[in-house]
Amino acid sequence: MVSKSQIKLINSLHQKKYRKQHQMFVAEGKKVIAELLQTNVELVALFSTSPQNFATSVTATIISEIELKKITALATPNNCLAVFKIPNATLPLQNGLILALDNVRDPGNLGTIIRLCDWFGIETLVCSEETVDVYNPKVIQATMGSISRVNVCYTNLEDYLKNTKLPVFGTFMEGKNIYQEKLPKKGIIVMGNEANGISKEIEALITTKIAIPRFGKLQQTESLNVATATAIILSEFKRN
Amino acid sequence: MVSKSQIKLINSLHQKKYRKQHQMFVAEGKKVIAELLQTNVELVALFSTSPQNFATSVTATIISEIELKKITALATPNNCLAVFKIPNATLPLQNGLILALDNVRDPGNLGTIIRLCDWFGIETLVCSEETVDVYNPKVIQATMGSISRVNVCYTNLEDYLKNTKLPVFGTFMEGKNIYQEKLPKKGIIVMGNEANGISKEIEALITTKIAIPRFGKLQQTESLNVATATAIILSEFKRN
């Protein structure tokens, strides 16, 4: 069973303010939880509506579906929910390809982008402080477990880019055709906000403007979704 | 104002069954509506909470926010909503690149894929009959207006592929590295269901199995989201 104080704590963790205060986050669903259990992320509590085999020595506290409904952040809850400690963010190494997000706000987009980083072997994802919190339950859900393999850190993106020696790439309508550019093995790729793209302050720090060419006859499509644009750009950087 | 019978009709259109019966669908938001008004799609009714300039001779019926709440399918409604007639589906021409969906179920994914088709100049999207309905309000929303420029048709995908002379591509873990394959200008690209990929019946009709290589060290990422995989594949077919 779940105690009243646990219900209160877990529900508070659906808000960023309390995740920061308690330094804990919630993960739901067997797959995501199982992947996190295999990392160094410290488990605080684990609940399940039925006995689960997590392939570790961890045992879940069995709870009823009614109890699960009291603690889940999902409209259709999974059968298990865990609370983990937020790991200390490792300072990003300036090595290889790094993806940076300038104010990405949609949890689904951030989750999908983390999955893409995992697929393309991008180990570090640097987020501006305004980017949606990676420990938001919807982000954790959308990563499908990839969260355990990508180092996500939040920082002042402007300062971070001012202090790098790596080339900084950003997507702009007037940028150079990405299919024709020689793309390096080391560098920082910046993706912008869903509605406004890359901000003026960050644009000033971009060293190479790139563009994904449009092929539609009417050329009326205004933009690609930030996650699909990230997919195409990472594929281009990695394909050679 | 909106009459009781209009409220009843519009709400019924949030369900596929009634969209089929009435041959009408709902679009919300100025951008999507404005783009649809510039096509041959026939307008049935247009409501707005404030006067709007749609750059056509069309005038919206002004309604209150309370009335809008009674007819919207969205959690946070936009300020305008329109009802359109479902256009007759044009039989797909077997020309150029065609994208085919085998049982894609998520409305957001279908909407994002339609936006990708528009961006990459894919004029025809063939959907299996089990694929989520393109006139689902969440799909219309996610297309961001691209729906007006992509010909989407539903058919028995197995029969459709049996009767084509074009090469048929599908993504499989064991497929050939897409970065090394010579990809043709004409062909059908099949994308599968979110959980199960391409079905056995359709797999039998694939002439070339392709794969997007994974770069992650641990190689644990199970799959890419269908919309991001579509983005990478369309980019590869079009980049040359």
Where residue A93 falls among pLDDT bands split at 50, 70, 90? Answer: low
| pLDDT the model gives residue B136 | 93
Distance (Å) of CA A116 to CA A183, A231, A235, B236: 18, 7, 9, 17
Residue B75 CA, chain-centre distance (Å), reads 21
Shortest Cα distance, chain B CAs vs residue A97, angstroms: 12
Is A149 near chain B, with CB under 8 Å? yes
Mutate to test the interface with A, among B31, B38, B215, B238 (most CBs of A within 10 A): B215
- Dihedral pair phi/psi, residue B39, rounded to 5°: -110, -170
Residue A225 above 70 pLDDT? Answer: yes
Please report residues of A whose CB lies closer than 8 A to that of B151.
none
Q: Rounded to two decimals, what is the model's pTM?
A: 0.89
Q: How many CB atoms lie within 10 A of CB B107?
A: 19
Q: Hey, what amino acid is at B169?
A: F
Q: Which residue does chain A place closest to B239, by CA atoms? A: A179
Exposure string of A79-88, with b = 16+ CB inside 10 Å and e = fewer, is bbbbbbebbe
Compare CB distances from A221 to B119, B216, B231 and report the shortest one's residue: B119
- DSSP labels, A1-17: ---HHHHHHHHHTTSHH
| pLDDT the model gives residue A230 | 98
| pLDDT the model gives residue A92 | 67
Maximum mean pLDDT: which of A35-49, A167-181, A205-219, B92-106? A167-181
At A23-38, the pLDDT tens digits run 999 999 888 898 888 8
Where residue A210 falls among pLDDT bands split at 50, 70, 90? Answer: very high
Which residues between 22 and 41 in chain B have a beta carbon less than 8 angstroms from any beta carbon of chain A? 35
Assess contact for A177 and A209: CB atoms under 8 A. no
Of residues B94 and A107, more confidence is placed in A107
Please report residues of A whose CB lies closer than 8 A to that of B115.
221, 224-225, 228
At B71-112, the pLDDT tens digits run 998 888 889 999 999 988 776 667 789 999 999 999 999 999
Q: Which residue from A26, A107, A36, A31 is spatially nearest to A68, judged by alpha carbons?
A: A26
Structure ipTM: 0.88
Tell me the two tokens of residue A212. Answer: 């994904």
Please report residues of B whose CB lies closer than 8 A to that of A112.
225, 228
Say yes or no for a CB contact (<8 Å) between A238 and B215. yes
Is A118 near chain B, with CB under 8 Å? yes
At A108-153, the pLDDT tens digits run 999 999 999 999 999 899 999 999 999 998 899 888 788 888 889 9
| pLDDT the model gives residue B155 | 92
Name the strand (E) or helix (H) holding A105.
none
> Per-domain residue ranges for chain A?
4-85, 97-238
Please report residues of B whose CB lies closer than 8 A to that of A115.
221, 224-225, 228
Tell me the two tokens of residue B157. Answer: 């995908």
Distance (Å) of CA A54 to CA A38, A59, B45, B236: 9, 8, 54, 39
For the domain made up of A4-85, give the CATH fold. 60s Ribosomal Protein L30; Chain: A; (3.30.1330)
Maximum mean pLDDT: which of A48-62, A69-83, B210-224? A69-83
| pLDDT the model gives residue A42 | 92
Q: What is the CATH number of domain B97-238?
A: 3.40.1280.10
- DSSP labels, A145-162: TGGGGSEEEEE-HHHHHH
| pLDDT the model gives residue B91 | 64
Average of per-residue pLDDT values in chain A: 91
- Percent of chain A scoring above 90 in pLDDT: 71
Low-confidence ranges of chain B (pLDDT < 50): none
Assess contact for B97 and B122: CB atoms under 8 A. yes
Please report residues of A whose CB lies closer than 8 A to that of B112.
225, 227-228
- Percent of chain A scoring above 70 in pLDDT: 96
